[in-house]
Chain A
Amino acid sequence: MSREVKPIRVALAGNPNVGKTSLFNELTGSRHRVGNYAGVTVERREGDLADGLAASAKVTLLDLPGTYSLSPTSEDEALAYRVLTGEGEPAPDAVLLVVDATNLARNLYLALQLLELGRPLVVALNMVDDARALGLPSDAASLADALGVSVVATVARTGEGVSQLAAALAQAESAEHEPRLAAPGPDHVALCETLACLGGDSARARWLLTAGVAGTAAQFGATATELERLAAVDDAKARRACQELVATRYAEIEQMLVRLGSRRSDAGAPAMTRSQQIDRVLTHRALGLVIFAAVMSVVFVSIFTWAQPLMDAIEAGFGALSSSIGDALGPGMLTDLVTQGVIAGAGNVVVFVPQIALLFLFLGLLEDSGYMARAAFLMDRIMARLGLHGRAFIPLLSGYACAIPAILGTRTISSFKDRLVTILMIPYMSCSARLPIYSLVIGALFVTADEGASGDLERGGILLGMYALSTASALFVGWLYKRTILTSPTPPLVLELPPYRLPRVRNTLLIVYDRTADFVRNAGTVIVMLTIVLWGLLSFPRDQTGAGGEGPTRIAESWGGRAARTLEPALEPIGQDWRMGVGIIGSFAAREVLVGTLGLVYGMEADDDDPVELRRAIREDRDSATGKPRYTRLSGLALMVFFVYACQCMSTLSVVRRETRSWRWPAFMFVSMTALAYLAALVVYQGGRLLGYA
């Protein structure tokens, strides 16, 4: 056998929250490749056994999504089954199943299904530290006896047992065994008869039976013959057979547990005793919600305050880079292309990294500690009203910070349609990049001579109003889409509340790194390209006379400026002119760019942080013909409302493309949001005029 050339491929299976990721990292020394499974957006991680561990053979690990079962009740489970049975790609040479020693009663269900498949199997009995502390049976040898495969006790947190596990994996290929089907009991008549109809008892027949009852057989790849056989079985009988099948497996597990020496006193949920005490506070009727609000606030305030200096530094860094390159190259078109196109584009990508990294750091810590499940538990009532799962709450809330990481965070939502609804809702949440626009407009147009506390109150109220509007709109849009273009029933909530555990920062950091690198690689390229296109729009055609070159005129004469001036008749009804039009086009690179672009239009170097001059210029700008102020409070309000709705962010659009794997949804998002933005601004401006606020 050419062992050196062909590594042993091992698929890593297990329930969620059993320490699968920790064990994967221990086994691979945290080195792995990230990709996607063909055709779906499920993340696929593969890694080789770490050098120190690779004993006699080369082993490659493939991390499957965490599942409770292999019956096709969700995309993840169908995928795990496909990989394990070698559909679409060669079947793995062996399977490594991770089970949680503190909860064998449920974890062994997946073990029995794997034994049915008959693939070489190695079991990692993980969390034995907790099991020992709780006095639960944690003897690997007895479990190996009961299952008939090799079992290694491990503690993924500390690395205990990992080298023995690696040794077992190196020999896994030889652990071939016959498929072992838990025998139906004597009174399970429906099951026996139905399996006979489905071509005789086998792992596939059992899969088909559950697929039939779940109604997913056709969706998850049953053949025409199989579907015919299924159709021949009476529905009620199939239901009874399915119930008997699952009962058969659980009966087998109970026998095993008795043999393992679990005691009557283990009834209840020993692993949950401590967590239940913690939950007395964390999911308490009043305190639970207060603490949840506090946790979320800490998360978002930290994202704002910690990310801001980093983002400023990144912007300053790219600014310095572009000016020193500009100096080195001398003035010219190439220089502009490099500095304002390429470098600015790269800056537009990197500037998101702090927020993405921080959000994923927090999300990862919350997930690994077990709190994320509680968050879904607390918020599900509200999300269910919209027709969504409790898990959609946190990504949605993250939209207040930045849509990009929020959209990446929707990966925890298992139904694609619901994930899409959430993704479409997120850009309506007012992200931090809209804040500079709100404050520019409010600061420019909502100041009065007789300044007083009431002015502050009014300005605060307007800002709050914008956030309220954005939140209400996001919720409404979700409700609407869920009932129109993306109809699907409210996903059921079947959510494990795992024991609280201290998270390991290293595991979380690895995920943070993966997600951030993925963003830079995939969305990044599109963002850089779009920045260059936008630069082209605002800088061409170049002034032919050679006399100009001044910022204001050059922009006015550019394609973007001409487009804005052509569009002026459409901008007037919403209280804007071509200048704002250019700003709106320019802000497509990133909303905060509006400030800079307007600065260029008005021919000044606007300081992004405190554009005092720009504010004054906007306030005092007068129409040369009538002498009236060009911008009023009403037009300012209309502009802000426009930005509440407009999806003026190409980074968001490129991330949506990446996550939905087509341009269709980002295109839909952009068109619908822009149309809505225009309409809303129109209603505000024209409505306001009718009411006499000119």
Chain B
Amino acid sequence: MGRGPANGRSVTLLPSRRVLDRLPAPTDALLMPERTLAALSVGEAATVREVGGDGTLAVRLLEMGFVPGTSVKLVKLAPLGDPMQFEVRGYHLSLRRAEAARIRVL
């Protein structure tokens, strides 16, 4: 119900960016296509592979429960398309698409 366009947007917009991001590191990408939480569609669940990068954000995301093996579900998108609302470890957390893209999934 009215969710179609939002899904469409997330799917059509992101692959091209991901392709660009992937260019410098082709070996890794060829073995395992890099998928992040930012690419989930509403209602879809995925399992965390790793949190990329360092800095306070990486530590915080880990500590909020995004450790490898955790199952995460995208619950909904905010009305303006961003941020995203995830279900993880029994609670709901909202992340911007940019932050969600730090979390790689299987």
Chain A residues with CB under 8 Å of chain B are: 68-69, 71, 73-74, 103-106, 109, 210, 213-216, 235, 238-239, 242-243, 246-247, 250, 266-272, 275-276, 279, 283-286, 288-289, 373, 377-378, 380-382, 384, 390, 492-498
- Nearest 3 interchain pairs by C-beta: A381-B80, A73-B56, A247-B67
Q: Is B57's beta carbon under 8 Å from chain A?
A: yes
Q: Is B93's beta carbon under 8 Å from chain A?
A: yes
| Given A283-B76, A493-B96, also A239-B58 (CB < 8 A) | yes
* 10 additional contacts (CB under 8 A) given A213-B58, A285-B6, A495-B95: A104-B90, A105-B90, A214-B60, A246-B62, A266-B90, A378-B80, A390-B83, A493-B96, A494-B64, A495-B93
Q: Which of B66-106 contact A (CB under 8 A)?
A: 67-71, 75-76, 78-83, 85, 87, 89-96, 98-99
Contacts of A492 in B (CB 8 A): 57, 60, 95-96, 98-99
Q: Of the candidates A69, A106, A270, A283, which one forms a contact with B89 in the assembled complex, judged by CB atoms under 8 Å apart?
A: A106
CA distance A286 to B2 in the complex (A): 10
Q: What's the least CB distance linking A291 to chain B, in Å? A: 10
| Given A103-B91, A378-B78, also A250-B59 (CB < 8 A) | no
User: 14 pairs across A/B with beta carbons < 8 Å?
Assistant: A74-B56, A106-B90, A210-B59, A213-B59, A216-B56, A238-B54, A243-B51, A250-B65, A269-B91, A283-B76, A285-B2, A378-B80, A382-B80, A496-B91
Q: Is B63's beta carbon under 8 Å from chain A?
A: yes
| Given A109-B63, A377-B85, also A215-B55 (CB < 8 A) | yes
Q: Of the candidates B54, B61, B69, B78, which one forms a contact with A494 in the assembled complex, judged by CB atoms under 8 Å apart?
A: B61
Chain A contact surface mostly: helix
CA distance A444 to B91 in the complex (A): 58
Q: Of the candidates A243, A268, A286, which one forms a contact with B79 in the assembled complex, judged by CB atoms under 8 Å apart?
A: A286
CA distance A166 to B50 in the complex (A): 43
CA distance A242 to B81 in the complex (A): 32
Contacts of A239 in B (CB 8 A): 54, 58
B56 touches A497 (CB 8 A): no
CA distance A454 to B87 in the complex (A): 55
Contacts of B70 in A (CB 8 A): 250
Of B56, B71, B89, most buried by chain A (CB within 10 Å of CB) is B56
B59 touches A381 (CB 8 A): no
B78 touches A283 (CB 8 A): yes
Contacts of A378 in B (CB 8 A): 78-80
A246 touches B90 (CB 8 A): no
| Given A242-B62, A493-B96, also A269-B79 (CB < 8 A) | no
Q: What's the least CB distance linking B10 to chain A, in Å? A: 14
A380 touches B83 (CB 8 A): yes
A494 touches B99 (CB 8 A): yes
CA distance A378 to B83 in the complex (A): 8
Contacts of A250 in B (CB 8 A): 65, 67, 70, 89
Chain A, residue nearest B62 (CB): A246
A243 touches B96 (CB 8 A): no
| Given A210-B59, A215-B56, A377-B83, also A493-B94 (CB < 8 A) | yes
Chain B, residue nearest A253 (CB): B89
B79 touches A497 (CB 8 A): no
CA distance A378 to B78 in the complex (A): 6
Chain B, residue nearest A289 (CB): B79
CA distance A366 to B65 in the complex (A): 26
Q: What's the least CB distance linking B89 to chain A, in Å? A: 4
Q: Of the candidates A69, A103, A213, A384, which one forms a contact with B90 in the assembled complex, judged by CB atoms under 8 Å apart?
A: A103
CA distance A149 to B37 in the complex (A): 37
CA distance A537 to B2 in the complex (A): 64
CA distance A272 to B57 in the complex (A): 25
Contacts of B71 in A (CB 8 A): 267
Contacts of B65 in A (CB 8 A): 105-106, 109, 250
A272 touches B87 (CB 8 A): yes
Q: What's the least CB distance linking B98 to chain A, in Å? A: 8
Chain A, residue nearest B5 (CB): A285
Chain B, residue nearest A109 (CB): B63
Q: What's the least CB distance linking B64 to chain A, in Å? A: 6
B96 touches A71 (CB 8 A): no
